[in-house]
């Protein structure tokens, strides 16, 4: 009898060891970055009109951050901060424009690739153009499909997208196409967002057996600025067609619904392959809400309880949603203060890639917060942002205090975010010593650049 039981016992032990080994594998990481989605655009962050059931489900089952910040208040620098872990006081790309990452810049993708991850980016890149060293496939990504140029990314019906550095023609027609592919299509056949999401889903299918890092920086709900008040480009308005709203607001609502649907599709694909318990999905936005393409950020209260929007360093311009969905790990809500620079060390920690981190980065890993060991969580001394348009601006958050100088020729204002999220009560006069401390710290965080000057 004993001999007969040996084989089943050995098999059970082997299976248990296999399951244990699988549980210890580096997690798959999916990073979804919306474009110009405000802090208040999601139901789980207080949105009352627009419904986002799939993203809300991630928040209900996962961990919702209340005090998370983008890298900048506009596109390109925020993405540079995200990829390199350096804040806008000294990162390479500090504003929108034609600049490329260099060969010696280290990205999140390169860090994770060094630990054996398969890496793919699908969507809007914006920090490296055609034939440059900044191409995603020269910055650690095995696969890329989408827009390289942020201006072309305004157009949801472009004549081409980029696959691994090469143009892929699309059947859309853009009569007055700009040098970089921007414009307004007269013939609309292929909706870029849909193509990008399909590529991302295919990447999951192709890499389900290996640890993967999927970066999905979608273009929704950014406006096509070249289209004026008709810039909220979407194939159909769906249930919003008969809503008593201006057409641009119908388009915005349809965009958010499409984004929500596709976040649900990504989660469903992860679950289909049985990867949920070893996959972390992070959802965030690159900056605050916009008032472009005929849409107004106040129409649906896109910035929620915050003041300001895109191109402001007020909270509404930089505080963004962050949801972490990882079944079996910590769920609920956290007020841990973090920003885009923290993503690089966090993902490196989780992926066993910390030895591949660059010598210089500004972030602190919040892996302990994700893993339910807040007693091990280190905190940042401060967070810093600089913005180089509209007279320039800089801001710093240290604990509950925030100092902001916007524009640079104005005096520094001081707010207590624990009681004044709208940043309406300037305490600079009441707290002169604290103001001086934060002003000094803010100024020391900025490194002058011949390319990026406050203007």
* Cross-strand pairs, 339: 69
User: CATH number of 26-379: 3.40.605.10, 3.30.210.10, 3.40.50.10470, 3.40.720.10?
Assistant: 3.40.720.10
- 26-379 shares its CATH topology with 384-444: no
* Tokens encoding 315: 């909270």
b/e per residue 16-38 (b: at least 16 CB within 10 A)? eeeeeeeeeebbbbbbbbbbbbb
Q: Are the CB atoms for 123 and 75 separated by under 8 Å? A: no
Contact residues for 279 (Cβ-Cβ < 8 A; gap 6+): 27, 28, 29, 30, 270, 326
Angle between helices 192-206 and 247-272 (to 10 degrees): 10
Q: pLDDT 10s per residue in the chain (455 long)?
A: 333 444 444 433 443 343 344 446 899 999 999 999 999 999 999 999 999 999 999 999 999 999 999 999 999 999 999 999 999 999 999 999 889 999 999 999 999 999 999 999 999 999 999 999 999 999 999 999 999 988 899 999 999 999 999 999 999 999 999 887 889 999 999 999 999 999 999 999 999 999 999 999 999 999 999 999 999 999 999 999 999 999 999 999 999 999 999 999 999 999 999 999 999 999 999 999 999 999 999 999 999 999 999 999 999 999 999 999 999 999 999 999 999 999 999 999 999 999 999 999 999 999 999 999 999 999 999 999 999 988 999 999 999 999 999 999 999 999 999 999 999 999 999 999 999 999 999 999 999 988 888 87
* Residue partners of 253: CB distance under 8 A and separation at least 6: 49, 50, 237, 240, 243, 245, 300
Q: Could you tell me if 235 and 32 are in contact, meaning their C-beta atoms sit under 8 angstroms apart?
A: no
Q: Where are the domains of the chain?
A: 26-379, 384-444
Please state the pTM of the whole predicted model: 0.94
| Tokens matching residue 108 | 């999140």
Q: What is the CATH number of domain 384-444?
A: 3.30.1120.10
Find the DSSP H helices in 25-155.
53-61, 75-84, 108-113
Helix (H), strand (E) at residue 193: helix 192-206
C-alpha–C-alpha distance, residues 253 and 347, integer Å: 32
């Amino acid at each position: 009898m004993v001999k007969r039981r040996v084989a089943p016992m050995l098999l059970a032990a082997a299976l248990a060891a296999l399951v244990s080994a699988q549980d210890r594998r580096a997690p798959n990481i999916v990073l979804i970055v919306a474009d110009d989605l405000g802090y208040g655009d999601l139901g789980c962050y207080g949105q009352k009109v627009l419904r986002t059931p799939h993203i809300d489900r991630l928040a209900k089952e996962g961990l919702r951050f209340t005090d998370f910040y983008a890298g900048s208040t506009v596109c390109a620098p925020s993405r540079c901060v995200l990829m390199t872990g350096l804040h806008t006081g000294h990162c390479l790309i500090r504003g929108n424009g034609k600049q490329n990452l260099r060969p010696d810049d280290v990205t999140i993708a390169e860090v994770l690739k060094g630990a054996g991850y398969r890496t793919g980016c699908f969507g809007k890149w914006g920090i490296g153009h055609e034939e440059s060293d900044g191409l995603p496939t020269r910055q650690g990504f095995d696969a890329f499909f989408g827009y390289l140029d942020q201006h072309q990314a305004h157009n949801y019906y472009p004549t081409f997208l980029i696959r691994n550095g090469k143009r892929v023609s699309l059947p859309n027609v853009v009569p007055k196409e700009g040098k970089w592919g921007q414009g307004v299509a007269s013939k609309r056949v292929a909706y870029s967002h849909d193509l990008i999401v399909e590529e991302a889903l295919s990447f999951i299918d192709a890499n389900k057996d290996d640890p993967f890092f999927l970066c999905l920086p979608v273009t929704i709900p950014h406006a096509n600025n070249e289209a004026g008040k008709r810039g909220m480009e979407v194939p159909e308005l769906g249930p919003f067609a008969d809503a008593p709203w201006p057409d641009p607001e119908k388009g915005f609502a349809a965009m958010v619904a499409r984004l929500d649907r596709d976040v649900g599709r990504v989660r469903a694909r992860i679950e289909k392959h049985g990867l949920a318990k070893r996959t972390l999905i992070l959802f965030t936005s690159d900056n605050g809400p916009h008032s472009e393409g005929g849409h107004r950020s106040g129409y649906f209260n896109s910035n929620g309880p915050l003041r300001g929007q895109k191109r402001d360093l007020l909270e509404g311009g930089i505080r963004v949603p962050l949801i972490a969905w990882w079944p079996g790990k910590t769920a609920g809500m956290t007020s841990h203060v973090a920003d885009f620079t923290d993503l690089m060390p966090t993902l490196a920690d989780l992926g066993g890639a910390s030895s591949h981190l660059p010598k210089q980065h500004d972030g602190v890993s919040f892996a302990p917060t994700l893993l339910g060991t807040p007693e091990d969580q280190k905190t940042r001394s401060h967070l810093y942002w600089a913005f180089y348009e509209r007279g320039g601006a800089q801001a710093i958050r240290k604990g509950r205090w925030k100092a902001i100088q916007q524009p640079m020729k104005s005096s520094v204002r001081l707010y207590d975010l624990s009681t004044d999220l709208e940043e309406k009560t300037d305490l600079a006069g009441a707290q002169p010593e604290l103001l001086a401390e934060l002003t000094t710290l803010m100024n020391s965080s900025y490194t002058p650049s011949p390319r990026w000057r406050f203007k």
